[in-house]
Structure 1
């Protein structure tokens, strides 16, 4: 039997297309080729920054139109990360991102294929240690119940509610599954919206929202964590046992020149968190440092970060992401965090 994966995501693979509109809604001359997309894809890359390809996994539904350049790009991060399901009768799931000034619209161009834990059965991805999913709280009920019904599988569940379903009407569904969620992580706007708090995010409001979710009983016996991702403010991490703590973003408010495109940063954050839970022996606060570093590599460019290897002084190979070492960023962020808390 093959070694089980540390992290498998149930997020979808999507080919992203782009349209840039002027103030009147007409197309501009700016063009961007189709790119790798999907929250699951970004989450897996966030974990891959820290882990080896054989430790993570994702199912990719590959239609008859799957581009060769995207296939090569995916496999440049490691072939073992991807389990392809081919269907020559359908197109690969595609979505269009429409930009009009600061407004970003998103819609699917063809039917999407959702994944559930059942799709992992009898594959090399069966029963991973961590499972990540992105969906509405209502749909999360079915995912959680499939996990619970799988004998002998008690994974760490990392759940991020899908943005357009972070509404007060979904709160009852969320309450019904929180006892089965190890880590709940909306972003700040999503958290406040779900709790009917109609105000711009501030640190105090984020902390208040985090406590409200904890009081609902996250994790078995209330042992879970809530992490509210708050952009350049950082992330607020809280558990009932150890309380709350702010973890700074690697690129903070003073680093705007490094922020090119935040698409996928939250997803990558949670993949990095999963890797951090392994590397930091389940210390949720230290794990969040890994998460922040993963997000930092995503926002520096449009699309995926660049990966290359180089030989170090000992002759072994070191992986560089965007020409930088993740460990260097982690060490810097740790020092920044210690300075902020002292």
Structure 2
């Protein structure tokens, strides 16, 4: 399962690194639980770690904008995943990007506490992250168009594009801008609620409505200049995968099933880590997006088990274990489960 000897990164994400604070409030807006501060976050970070579950650190990449206030504990935590992942941009004149996540019942609010620093494909040039095989980005459709234009302007680079629409831009008004870029997107992956909102479909999402949404996106032209897939992440229902390469879609189970909800502590970052795992899976599955989605589901399973990123350690045989077990073991369980539902 080794990668080739090329120094090129397999996956680079343009998502931002963020230091998060989590606040839990009651219906009156008053603090109702313990505030969690200075937790590593950002969709890009979760995506990178989702890929890192399967790949060595020198094959995953991300820019981290490191301000003068960057916590020592945060630096030490990042280094445990492999220092080769992170390309730091230091600026002593600014602070590190920070945000607050506010939970009130089923409502989740998100607010930046500092200015955002966008990362673009041009920023990768001249660094070890330049021209990766796969490029992941989280943004509005209009911002995605700018990113894709930059990609076209960099010679001899045609990455597999993995696009995750940013949640608050998943509204019907953004659909025309999304349609305009779909031919250049190899993998489009909103979650179920985001897909329904973009397409003005009634909710709550069901398996049937998710399948309909995926077909609508594919018909709009996802990857029509080549191979293309739509993956709609749907929480406990799993993920629905529809590709131009096959006539019918497939549901990929969430690793933790509804009867095992005690293992699901916090879903923050689960979708991002799913796509990181998908990227890694595309390598090991030789481009089979359905098989790759099993890797993705395993990566997400580690993210939801705690607040923040999963833990990586060395086991007794000096092989990596994540949250106390091996990803390969979870992958086998998931494969066996699918084999029972989809016999050859």
TM-score category of the 2 structures, normalised to the smaller one:
over 0.9
Q: What are the equivalent positions in structure 2 for 1:1-342 lying under 5 Å apart?
A: 3-28=7-32, 30-221=34-225, 223-242=227-246, 243-312=248-317, 317-342=318-343
Separation in structure 2 between the aligned mates of residue 101 and residue 195 of structure 1, nearest angstrom: 26
| 1:101 positional shift | 2.1
Separation in structure 1 between the aligned mates of residue 106 and residue 60 of structure 2, nearest angstrom: 34
Separation in structure 2 between the aligned mates of residue 124 and residue 323 of structure 1, nearest angstrom: 31
Separation in structure 2 between the aligned mates of residue 332 and residue 27 of structure 1, nearest angstrom: 40
Going from structure 1 to structure 2, the CA distance change for 1:29 and 1:42 (only over 3 Å counts) comes to closer
| 1:2 positional shift | 6.8
Separation in structure 2 between the aligned mates of residue 222 and residue 238 of structure 1, nearest angstrom: 14
Q: Is the 8 A contact 1:2 1:124 kept in 2?
A: no
Separation in structure 2 between the aligned mates of residue 253 and residue 93 of structure 1, nearest angstrom: 35
Q: Deviations over 1:305-329 (max 9, x none)?
A: 11100232xxxx2100000100000
Separation in structure 2 between the aligned mates of residue 176 and residue 102 of structure 1, nearest angstrom: 33
Separation in structure 2 between the aligned mates of residue 220 and residue 25 of structure 1, nearest angstrom: 47
Question: Unaligned regions of 5+ residues in structure 2, if any?
Answer: none
Separation in structure 1 between the aligned mates of residue 129 and residue 224 of structure 2, nearest angstrom: 24
* Mean Cα deviation higher: 154-163 or 241-250: 241-250
| 1:29 positional shift | 5.1
Q: Is the 8 A contact 2:184 2:225 kept in 1?
A: no
| 1:19 positional shift | 1.6
Separation in structure 2 between the aligned mates of residue 173 and residue 89 of structure 1, nearest angstrom: 36
Separation in structure 2 between the aligned mates of residue 118 and residue 98 of structure 1, nearest angstrom: 33
Helix, strand or coil for the counterpart of 1:11?
coil
Q: Deviations over 1:200-224 (max 9, x none)?
A: 0100000000000000111143520
* Mean Cα deviation higher: 240-249 or 52-61: 240-249
Separation in structure 2 between the aligned mates of residue 144 and residue 117 of structure 1, nearest angstrom: 9
Q: Deviations over 1:54-77 (max 9, x none)?
A: 000000000111000001001100
CA RMSD of superposed structures (Å) = 1.2
- The count of aligned residue pairs is 338
- Return the TM-score normalized by structure 2: 0.96
Going from structure 1 to structure 2, the CA distance change for 1:276 and 1:29 (only over 3 Å counts) comes to closer
Separation in structure 2 between the aligned mates of residue 170 and residue 156 of structure 1, nearest angstrom: 23
- Return the TM-score normalized by structure 1: 0.97
Separation in structure 1 between the aligned mates of residue 25 and residue 15 of structure 2, nearest angstrom: 29
